[in-house]
Structures are given as C-alpha cells and as structure tokens.
Amino acid sequence: MEKLRFGIIGVGGRGMCNARAVNAREDSELVGTCDIRRERLDLCDEEGIAGARFIDYTDLLDEGLDAVCINTDNNVHYEQTMAAAERGMHIYCEKPIALTVAEAARMVEACEGLATVVNLSMRAAPEQQLLRQVVREQRYGRLLCVGAAHPKPSGLLVQGQGHRATNDPAVWGPIIMHDGVHICEWLRFIGGEVRSVFAHTATTGPDPLNEEFINAVTTHDDDVLGALSYHAMPFIPTRQYAICEQASLWPVRDEEGVRLHVARVGAEDEELPVPPRELTGDAYYVDEFVRAIREGHQPYGTMQDGYEGQRIVEAIRRSGQTGAIVDMGDVTG
C-alpha cells in the first residue's frame, strides 16, 4: 500500500496530538510539521516526530502532500484550507472552520470532491454516536426533545480570564464560536436539521458581542424541540439528553465506565453499555480521516458539518442580539 503523505500545520496541543497519531501509522508518511513558533518545532525534534520543519505553511504545502491537518489559530483556518484545497489535498481542520459563515461556505465549495474531517469532538464520542443510533432507530419511540447544558467558567467567575476567546475574539472568534460550536452542532447531530432558533445571550465582559451566557431554543425537522444552556456555573455538570416518547436518555461517564442511562416510562431504568473502541482520541480522529481518503468512509464530522455548526452559532448570536426568532434559511454564506 502506498503511504499517504501528510503534513501538520500548527503543532500546539491539538496539532502535536495529530502529529503523534500520524507518526505512529504504518500507512502514512509524515512529510513535515509547520508552526510559526520555533520552540514547537524543536519539541517535534525532541519527541522524534518525523519529517522536515517549516515556518511558512505554504512551503509545507508545496511538498506534494496528499493530506494536511490544520490546527492553527481560528482566524487562519480559512486561508490555509483554501490553499490546501487549491492544491487538491484532503483536509482535516479543527473547529471552528472559519470566523464567518461566508468563509465557511466558500470552504465547503472549495473542498468538493476532497475527503474532509472537522473535529467536532462531541460527534466523535462513542456514547454520543450510540445515543444517535438509538434515537434514529426509534428504540424508545419518536424523538421529542434534545438538550445540552454546558458550563464554561469564562467570565463571571474569573473576570474574563477563563478562555482566550474571551480576550482575543479577533483571533479566536466569539467564545460561543470557538468553544461552543460543537455543542451547538450537537443539537443537529442528535435532533436533525435545525429550522429556527430563539436565544437570549449575555456577557460580563467589555464586548457585548462576545456572548458568554446563552439560553437557546431550537426547532428541528419532525417537530423535535432543542434546548441549549451555555453558562458559567462549573458546579453544574455538563449534560446532554434526549427525550423520546417512551424514555429519556443521557450519556454517563464515571468510574464504572461509559454508558447510556435510560429512564423509561412505566418501567425500570436501563443502562446501555457503550462498546469500547480499539482507537481513541486523536488516533481515532486521524484514522477516520485516513479511512475517508482511502475508502470513501463517511467520517464523524465533515466540512459541511462544520459549516452547519457555524450557521447555528450565527443564528444564536443574531437572535440574542435582536430578540427575534431566526429562521435558518436566512443564515447563509
């Protein structure tokens, strides 16, 4: 089997994990890593990561790559994705894929015919994939509602110091885009296509357009209702749930393992075990990418999914700013 020629752009925390995962594969060759910080490239040398080192990402792209992983600051995802797509490379990109819906739409168009993965990590979690499967099978009747509570102590509890997106939205985008896009898109992943959004947003920071607290209601296909609470209360656990006609379901991770808890109507609760995976974390993410390239496999998240997630974020922000219901048909690139 001919090896896939990989490049990694950005070898901070997530990018270094990608580099290790590619480096460990026998079916792939890590041609090079790129970062604007020399110390990150030095760390690649120290860890024995294969390939040449580059400061300018275009020099790496000109090495005749088959595939590239983009793990840089959010404000350059668009530029780097478009450059890679122009060269016909398959693309793995961290979320959010861009800072605007318009840029995200152009990225989807540019990547047509290429294998893409966007690391919407909630989609990749095995318990979330099992939840989606159970819901789609209507094992407990028709889906009625999906919801997520996501604590993020970014502002009120730490005076705006809890997340870089709170202080540097020009690079990272608003915090709900940087940190929350995968939470927002999860509503679509479980509940189906989003049709409208109504939201109230607030912030404790100096920028009223960098929303830290969000309560949103979404409507989906087949009259499914969605709810999102994004807030600064870390004493409330992160929770996602689905309510069907005959049961409510939610993922559980604790010392006893990973499972779905099922609270049934008129019957005892159930615990659905989540089958273990051979690969986890970035090894799984990269494997999904390689399979998409080699086999035409549908990965857990694509450039289209990244675009749809940004549309939902934009709808939440518009609704929060205007106090009006936003129809998703009006949120386009």
Whether the per-residue pLDDT at 292 is higher than 70: the answer is yes
pLDDT at 326 over 80: yes
pLDDT reading at 159 higher than 60: no
Give the span between the Cα atoms of 24 and 283, in whole angstroms: 9
Q: How confident is the model at residue 168 (pLDDT cuts 50, 70, 90)?
A: confident
Mean pLDDT over 289-302 rounds to 97
Check whether 1 has a pLDDT greater than 50.
Answer: yes
Domains of the chain: 4-120 (3.40.50.720), 122-275+302-330 (3.30.360.10)
Query: Mind listing the pLDDT tens digit for each residue in 169-179?
Result: 888 888 888 88
Percent of the chain with pLDDT over 90: 80
> ∠ CA 170-32-76 to the nearest 5 degrees?
15
What average pLDDT is seen over the chain? 93
Residue 147 has pLDDT above 90, yes or no: yes
For the residues 219-225, what does the mean pLDDT come to? Answer: 97
Express each pLDDT in 44-60 by its tens digit: 999 999 999 999 999 99
Q: What pLDDT score was predicted for residue 101?
A: 97
Residue 78 has pLDDT above 70, yes or no: yes
| Cα distance between residue 214 and residue 197, in whole Å | 12
Q: What is the pTM of this model?
A: 0.94
Q: Cα–Cα distance between 124 and 185 in angstroms, integer?
A: 12
Check pLDDT > 70 for residue 161.
no
CA distance 317 to 108: 22
Confidence check: pLDDT of 155 > 60? no
pLDDT tens for 3-26 read 999 999 999 988 999 999 999 999
Residue 157: pLDDT band by 50, 70, 90 thresholds? very low
- pLDDT at residue 29 above 70? yes
